[in-house]
Amino acid sequence: MTRKQKVVFSIGWLSLAIIVLLLIVMVIAQTWRYTEAGKVPLKTGVILHAVNEQLLPEGLSTPSFFVNPVAPTIKRADLILETRDGEPIAMRLYTPTQSGPHPVILYFHGGAFMEGYGNVDTHDNILRALANRTNAIIVAPNYRLAPNYSFPTAIHDSFDALKWVYDEAKELDADTENIAVAGDSAGGNIAAAVVMKANEAGYSLKSSAFLYPLTTFEDTPFPSRDAYSSGYYFLSRSVMERARAAYTPNQDDWINPYVSPLLSDALRDFPTSLVVTAEFDPLRDEGEAFAEKLYDAGNDVEAVRFNGTMHGFLSFYEVMGRADYALSYVAHFFNRSFETDETSQKQPFYVKELDEGDTVQDEVEAYGMSVYLLWQKIVQLIK
């Protein structure tokens, strides 16, 4: 065999080995789609596996060659809010660089009401994206958390932030005719309480968005709580029980409407509302039940379930097409509410199910992530 033939032969074997390895990676990645409660999209399966195996690299984001650089359109500022009891809390503002007046979205971060589970820093990417996609001022208070501060401190802090927005509207260059609230998970629970308190105080909100919200502290037998509460889908029954014990140590508070808005009889006069749920989320059913109760109370409400997603999925919008699609959906809801005073035509209540957002980029990135994850597993075995 000549030298040239040997080189060609070696290249052929190397190419074959690479193809075989890639096929193995693809097969393994496909197995990660089959979770304990059912089949999920490829990218969702890879992310779930990575997080549960603690293999996901810090600061994961879309590769830079996929991103078109743009000039910054918002500026961020941290300030201090003096609460009603005199104790200051941190608050973050995301403000458009162009002149206003601008709509305002008061956003309450998720995180099980407890220290160590969530704050404005963990939600910085969502807050920035929402500011960019709505051209609104985003106000995000770091409300005080359990176990040091139990109910109703978080509610008081959050409502004080809303009052601050109205008091400082001129300084903020804010449009007081277009003020909205939003929150995810525990923050969605707080957002509902703030709307109820705003109604009592005579504040007129333009819209509200509740993103995979916790809506009742009672042990209600929702099927989704049983199906998806192992923790594999980013929220476990044990965390929910710890959150309940820390945030509401007094069991009588579990039926308080500001704790369990699903049980409230004061859901009339909510602003135009969007309730977002995730298919593989223990909070899915109670979120959709809350949307239906808002509807039954005479409100304009849209309920949307994003299939193929898990609790907290919006935080992955930079690497997950379904999450990016959902975040754009939320932004469009706010933009539409700010632009019109019309409510949608009254129709029978239903939950809109969306199965959109996956892209070719998602597919390619999912396999690329799988290569990294398998390499990390090999490194762990060698150690």
Tokens representing 238 are 């044990």
Question: Considering 158, 185, 207, 273, which one is annotated as catalytic?
Answer: 185
Rounded Cα distance, 55 and 374, in Å: 9
Other residues' Cβ atoms within 10 Å of the Cβ of residue 173: 15
Rounded Cα distance, 184 and 191, in Å: 9
Q: What ranges make up the beta strands (E) of the chain?
A: 34-35, 38-39, 74-82, 88-96, 102-108, 137-141, 174-184, 207-211, 272-280, 301-310, 351-354
Active site residue 185: yes
Q: Is 17 helix (H, G, I), strand (E, B) or coil?
A: helix
Tokens representing 377 are 């597993």
Nearest to 203 by CA among 172, 159, 171, 170: 159
Report yes or no: 230 and 243 within 8 Å, Cβ to Cβ: no
Q: DSSP labels for 131-173? A: HHHHT-EEEEE----BTTS-TTHHHHHHHHHHHHHHHTHHHHT
- CA distances (Å), origin 135, targets 95, 102, 280, 322, 327: 8, 7, 31, 22, 14
Buried b (16+ CB within 10 A) or exposed e, 51-73: bbeebbeeeeeeeeeeeeeeeee
Catalytic residues: 185
